Structure formats: C-alpha cells, structure tokens
Structure 1
Amino acid sequence: MSAGFSMHIFFTRFPLESQFGGAEVQTLSLMEGLKERGHHVAFLGSCPVLLEKCFALSVPYFDLNIGPPPVTKWHAISFLWRQFLMRKKLINAINEQPVTRNEQRVIFMLSLSEKLLLTTWAAQNKIPVFWIEHDSIGRWLRWNPWLPKLRRLSRLATTVAVSDMSKRMYLDLGWNPENTVVIPNGIDLRKFYKRQKILRSTTFHIGCVARLSPEKGVDILIKAVKNIPNIHLTIVGTGRDENCIRKLLEQSTLETHSNDEGQVYHLSPTTSVTILPSVPDIVSFYHSLDLFILPSRDHDPCPLAPIEAMACGIPTIMTDACGTAQYVENGKEAIVVPAGNTEVLHEAIKQTTLRTYEAASVQNTFSFERMIDRYELLFAHSAKL
C-alpha cells in the first residue's frame, strides 16, 4: 500500500432513483482500487445498483433505508421532521461497524441526505469526510431550500469535483476553494486498448453510450445524423427518456425492421439507428466504431464513455458541456463542439475522417492508478490534520 497507512472507508449513497451509469461504474472502480491498496472498504446505503454490485464484487455492504433525499418539493419540506430519525439511523449504522485500532475511519458521501445529516457529527468525532460529486448540478440543487445549510457544511468536508468545470460551478454556489479539489475520473488503461487496424465497411458506424435522459442530448445526435448518408448509429443506454427518444425516431423513420440486436430505425435509405440497453463487451463495441459521440446538452461532470473511446483510439466528438472536454486538445485529441447545436454537430460528423486521434490526455489525466494516487494523497493530508 503506497500511502503506508490503512483507512476504513465507508461509501454512502441514498438516491431518489437508482440506475447503472457512469457514476456507479466510477464508484465501484474507486472501491476496488482502494481495496487493492490495502484499505478496508464498505458500502452503506439504499442504492439497489450499488448494493447488487457490491455483493457481486465481495465488497461488504449494509442495506439501510432512511427515506428519500430532499431533492423534490415535498421531500425537501418533509425533511424538516424526517431528518432526526434519519440521522439516528445513520449514526447507529456507522457505529455498529467494527474498526480496528490502527484504522482511521473515513466517509465518502455520494448523495445529499448524508451530507446534510452526518457531516457535523463526523467532524465532531474527527472522522474525515469527502463529498464525491459525480452528479450534474441542476435545479434540484440550485433551487433547493437546503442549499444554504449545505454550503455551510461544505466547510467541514473536502469536496471532490471530478472536473475543473464542476469545481467552478461549486465555487459559484459558495463553496470554499481551499477545501474543494479536483480528481478526474480514471479508467483502466489495460482494459481499454487501441484496436488493430481492420478493414471497414462502406457504412460509417457511429456509437453513443449514454443514459437516456434529456441532459445527455441523444435527441440532438439523432437529428444531426438524419441527412448524412451511409451512417449507422448505435445508441447504448437506458433511462427515463427512452420512450421520448423512440417516439422521435418513429416520427423520423421511413421504415423499421428487427435483427438480432433489436429494432432498426431507417431515417433514410442509407441512414439507420439502433438503441441497445447494453452490450456484452464494451471494448469490442468501441473497436467496432468509426466515430464515438457524446452530445451532452447540460453540465456533464466527467463522463467515462468518451475517455474510454479515446483510449481505444476511436475518433471522438463531445460537447463543451462535458467536463472531460477541457482536458483534450480540440482538433487533435478529439473534436469539441458547442452543446445543444444540431447544425454544428452535423457538420462535425461530416468532416470527421477515419484517422486515429492521439489522445495523450487519456494517459496523463484519466489513468485509474493516478486517480487512486490522488485519493491517497487526500487521506495522507487528512491524517495530518
């Protein structure tokens, strides 16, 4: 273990809804990486996805239901009286977990409830607290009546933003820059490797891996490819916006047919779209592509998919709403286009060639090992306080 000390790290998450996406992938990777470095890692929360994955990965987990977070109007109001029992349940659950004499307890908080409920108690008990901010900043936070309290409590924790863009947004909300740090998400570069040169078909294969929700801008991508010939677009993802996406495709489709993968929507005689909930091998999927696109229209803190695609040597387009975009050299490592602009994205797709981009930023910024090293440096700093 490089840090020379052992931490007992509790990851906590109590979301309003749960689905498997980039934040969950990154959280599980962080758990595994810290565990490999010799730290004791456990999950405490009500997130079904993380509970299921922790079981599969043999990470200790504790299923605790404390009630919904204050991210809707009614839940924010009822939090006024719900908070006391919720706090008691949380504190009891953490105190029940055995910790050896030589281990320092640490809490990684991933959702709003525990940040409001546990941060003061943890500070009083000299337990370092890290707020890991994977989620985009939206109305749920900007207009939340609990934001002033959260802003005050942030001074008792270290906020880890996953991109400089996210950090600036938190500073704009009133966070203290002295205890707000940036640790970009990391990927295992041994897994995501450059493909061998292969003979391509006459159809240009574009891929998108994204949650099907409005902020990801998948509808913009569909409109952008509509009039480009010899294109097949494969969208991999699920989400609350899936019905709207399929309705858009049906309105734009000349005809449909089904194959082994699912329903294929033909936007023109030579332009087609397929939506898949998942793929069996994500690396093989990236290697099948001529171009990867993430068309996020709103704040997307540090999405993993474009990082993975670039690591595989796939030409990549992303928007300037992606926190990842600020770490790449536009036009050399990837193409960065303005968010929400169908016409500009359309032109970028037409102008993209089949050449492989040399994405040095993937090695320098998004290495999994480098990410774990940065977290361990935070631990070392907190141990000295």
Structure 2
Amino acid sequence: MKKLRIAVLTNCHKEHPSPKDAIFAPGIIATQIADGLVQRGHSVDMYAPKGSKTKANLVHFGFKSIYSQYDKKYGLGSSFYTRQFVQADLINITHAIEGLNSGKYDIIHSHDIRNSVALSCFAKKQIIHTLHTVPQNLTQFEKYSLRTNKKNNIFIAISDRQKKLTDKKLFNIIKTIPHGIDIEQFSYNAQPKNYALFVGRITKEKGAHMAILACKKANIQLILAGNVPSDEASQKYFKEKIEPYLDKNIKIIGYIKSKQLAKYYQNAKVLLFPSQVEESFGLAIVEALACGTPVIATNTGIASQAIIIGKTGFIESSADSIAKKIQHIEKIQRKKCAQHAQAHFSLEKMINEYEQLFKTYA
C-alpha cells in the first residue's frame, strides 16, 4: 500500500486543542484526520501554531497562536490582529506549496480557504480543501480567487445541507465527508437523568433563548454548557435574553472539555440544538446521539442526515414545537440513537474516507 506524504494546513488563529475560552472546531477535526493518517503509516506535516498537540510532524516556524498573543490586547476584529493572522498564514501556505511542487508532498489538505485558494495558482497540483463553514457573504476578492483558480482547487463538504447551500459556480465540491467522533469517548448510556442539554456558545445565533423557552414550557430542567463571548452584542444578549431566566431549573455551567462533556450528554434526556443560522455541521448533534441521547434541532448542518424523525429525534423550528416534542422524547429508543451514530459518524469512517480520497488524487 502506497504511503502518502501530506501537508495539512490549518491556520495560525488558535493552537490545537483550543484554549477553553476559544473553541476551534476546524482545528479539532484537522488534528483528528492528521493523527489518524499518521497511525495508518502515512507521513503528515501539520502546519499549525506552536504548542499544538498532534501525532503528525508539527511545522510552526516558531509562531504561537495569534489568538493567545493578541486577542486581549487588540481584539479579534482589529486591523493589527488581522494583519498578523494573514501574514502567518501566507508563510505556512507558501512553504506547503513549495513542498508540493518539489515532490515533498503528494497532497495539500487545507482547512481554511481564504488565503490558500488565492495562492493555489502557484501549485502544480490541485489543493484539497475541507469546507468548515457555509460560505456566504464572500468578499469580491474571495469570489475572484475562487473563479480564477477554480481548476486548482477541489472541495469537501461536511454535510449535505452545506453542499446544497454552497455556490457550485465557485466551489467544485467532489464529495461530502461528515465529521467523525470518538465513539469510545462518547459512549452509550441507557439510563439518563431528567434534564435537557444545550451545548454551544451562549449567543443569539445558537438559539440558547429558544432552548430556555422550550424547557420552561415543557417543565424540564435545562443545563446550558457553553461560554458567553466577550463581544458587546453577545454580552447584551446574555443580560437581556438569558440571565433573567437563570434559576434552579435553568443553569449555565460554562465551557466543558469534551471528556467531561460526554457525561452530560450521557445523562441528558434530550439535546436541544436550536441554531438560528445555517451551520455547516453541528458536532454536538452526533456526540449526543452516540451517547444514546435523542436530539431536537432546527434544520441546519448535519441535522437532516443525523436525525431520523421519530427514531433518533425531531427537527422543529419554534420553542412551542420543541416543547411538545420534549414531552414525548421518551418514546425514542436510546439504543437506536447510538447505533445510528456508530454506523455513520465514527472517527474511523471519516478517516477511511479521507484516506481513500487522498489516494485517488495523490
């Protein structure tokens, strides 16, 4: 079997794993894929900030994460922050492309399209990108790069809905590969406690307020596992829409690391995922299902693939309809939820699909 030589490009925003106040899902997935390929005997260089933890060979040029160095001093949206971010990315991308052109690498796998697409015109082979967002509101420069360099780039979607919402004139999507999770970590529990769970940032976009309203109507305890971002809009949302409702039945426990979070999934009667925006995936959905916990979600990201209506959960659009489904959630067989996640969203399945794809394009 041919052993592949792969360059994995993340970005210099955050190290992997992320600091507790700054979840960075693309970094988590990139590391899981890189580590899985190393375990299968492939040679992988991972371009990521200094301090990142991976089984791959870490390439960092001495750069620490931009977030850890500059977020508190300059702020995420500042021009200085952005300039540092772009400059570090350009150094990583140019070195990876140089390696591809010289024969050092068979594949470049990019997890951030912004700068790698722009520079892909210098690559002698196509760059493979995993899309981690629903690419909307693209700038004129991003659209120009995607159009003029279309033949130099191929894209992997992470959910069918993301693929459907992505402009096919700009993105050549060749395959959908859903994210995988560690089934052993998110293991099955047949005997939950009597509470609903919300996992994610406490923001308007994630729909935390809808989860609260639904649980009050359904008369069930709600645990909110997530942090409140420091930006002004998020703080205002928290003070107006969340804080007034916190009591003995509506609790916020903050950000929880994945190993501890698994226990909350396992003991929850239901996971609520009422996102108000178009998600690209929604890891919490499949993590909960793997633990046997049914999910009630809005129709976003992986929901329509992961949720079999009436079998592993429900797709609803309002607090009233979510509340009604909560009251009937015990009809869902938890074992079937776990079996569905194990069959379709395992880490092994995800890595298998990436490995086969890379062999095709090497």
> Which bracket does the TM-score occupy, shorter chain normalised?
0.7 to 0.9
TM-score (norm 2): 0.79
Pairing 1:56-135 to 2, within 5 Å after superposition:
59-63=57-61, 64=63, 89-90=91-92, 93-94=95-96, 104-122=105-123, 124=124, 126=125, 128-135=126-133
Deviation at 1:230, TM superposition (A): 4.0
1:289 and 1:162 map into 2 onto residues whose CA distance is: 26
TM-score by length of 1: 0.75
SS at match of 1:223: helix
1:256-315, Cα deviation, whole Å (9 max, x unpaired): xxxxxxxxx21xxx6322231214612212122111111111111111111011011112
Greater strand proportion: 1
Per-residue deviation at 1:196? 4.3
| 2:272 is aligned with 1:293 | yes
Indicate which of 338, 341, 347 corresponds to 2:324.
347
Which stretch of the first structure deviates more once superposed, 352-361 or 151-160? 352-361
Q: Tell whether the 8 Å contact from 2:162 to 2:301 is kept in structure 1 after alignment.
A: no
Offset at residue 40 of structure 1 (A): 2.0
Instruction: Letter of the 1:344 partner, please give it.
Output: S
The alpha-carbon deviation at position 211 of structure 1 amounts to 2.8
SS at match of 1:194: coil
- 1:331 lines up with 2:310 in the alignment: yes
Distance (whole Å) between structure 1 residues aligned to residue 65 and residue 306 of structure 2: 38
State the Cα deviation string for residues 326-360 of structure 1 (Å, max 9, x = none).
3431111221113xx23322322233226434134
Structure 1 residues 298, 87: closer, same or farther in 2, change over 3 A?
A: closer
Q: In structure 2, what residue type is equivalent to 1:343?
A: D
Residues 196 and 109 of structure 1: is their aligned pair in 2 closer, same or farther, counting only changes over 3 Å?
A: same
Residue in structure 1 matching 2:152, options 132, 156, 160: 156
SS for the counterpart of 2:185 is coil
Measure how far apart 1:34 and its partner are: 1.3
Amino acid at match of 1:24: G
CA distance in 2, matches of 1:94, 1:328: 39
For 1:150 and 1:174, the matched residues in 2 are separated by 6
Task: Give the distance between the partners of 1:236 and 1:354, measured in 2 at CA.
Answer: 28
SS at match of 2:166: helix
CA distance in 1, matches of 2:142, 2:101: 32
CA distance in 2, matches of 1:189, 1:251: 34
The residue that corresponds to 1:42 in the other structure is 45
User: Cα–Cα, structure 1 residues 136 and 248, in superposed 2: closer, same or farther, change >3 Å?
Assistant: farther
Describe the SS at the equivalent of 1:345: helix
Contact conserved, 2:278 with 2:300, CA < 8 A, in 1? Answer: yes
The separation in 2 between residues aligned to 1:119 and 1:313, in whole angstroms, is 43
Say whether the 8 Å CA contact 1:292–1:315 is kept in structure 2. Answer: yes
Contact 2:134-2:166 within 8 A present in 1 as well: no
Letter in 2 for 1:294: F
Identify unmatched segments of 5+ residues in structure 2.
68-75
- Tell me the residue number matched to 1:180: 174
- Cα distance, 1:134 vs. partner? 1.1
Kept after mapping to 2: 8 A contact 1:217/1:297: yes
- Per the alignment, do residues 67 and 182 of structure 1 end up closer, same or farther by CA in structure 2, a change over 3 Å counting? same
Match of 1:4 in 2: 2
Query: What do residues 39-73 of structure 1 show as CA deviations (whole Å, max 9, x unaligned)?
Result: 22223245xxxx44336x675131559999xxx99
The 1-side partners of 2:30 and 2:228 are apart by 19
Offset from partner CA, 1:58-98 (integer Å, 9 cap, x none): 75131559999xxx9997xx99xx99x88973465337879
Between the two proteins, what is the percent identity of the paired residues? 20
- For residues 229-378 of structure 1, the aligned pairs below 5 Å read 229-240=219-230, 242-248=234-240, 252-253=244-245, 265-266=246-247, 271-279=249-257, 281-338=260-317, 341-353=318-330, 355-357=332-334, 358-359=336-337, 360-378=339-357
Counterparts in 2 of 1:183-194, with a 5 A limit?
183-194=177-188
CA shift at 1:173, angstroms?
Answer: 5.3
* Equivalent position to 2:211, from 205, 221, 232: 221
The answer to whether the 8 Å contact 1:15/1:111 transfers is: no
Is the contact between residue 155 and residue 175 of structure 1 (CA under 8 Å) also seen in structure 2? no
Deviation above 4 Å: which 4+ runs of structure 1?
Answer: 14-18, 63-68, 72-75, 85-88, 95-101
Partner of 1:233: helix, strand, or coil?
Answer: strand
- Does 1:54 pair with 2:57? no
Q: Post-superposition shift, 1:162?
A: 0.3
Q: 2:223·2:252 contact (CA, 8 Å) conserved in 1? A: yes
Q: Distance in 1 between matches of 2:264 and 2:181?
A: 16
CA deviation after TM superposition for structure 1 residue 165, in Å:
1.1
Classify 1:161/1:74 alpha carbon distance in 2 versus 1 (closer, same or farther; 3 Å): same
CA contact (8 A) 2:203 2:237 kept: no
Name the Cα RMSD after superposition. 3.6
Provide structure 1 residue ranges, at least 5 long, that are not aligned to the other structure.
254-264
Q: Which amino acid aligns with 1:271?
A: N
Q: SS state of the match for residue 218, structure 2?
A: coil
In structure 2, relative to structure 1, the CA distance for the partners of 1:282 and 1:343 (3 Å cut) is: same
- Which residue, 173, 196, 199 being the options, matches 1:206? 196
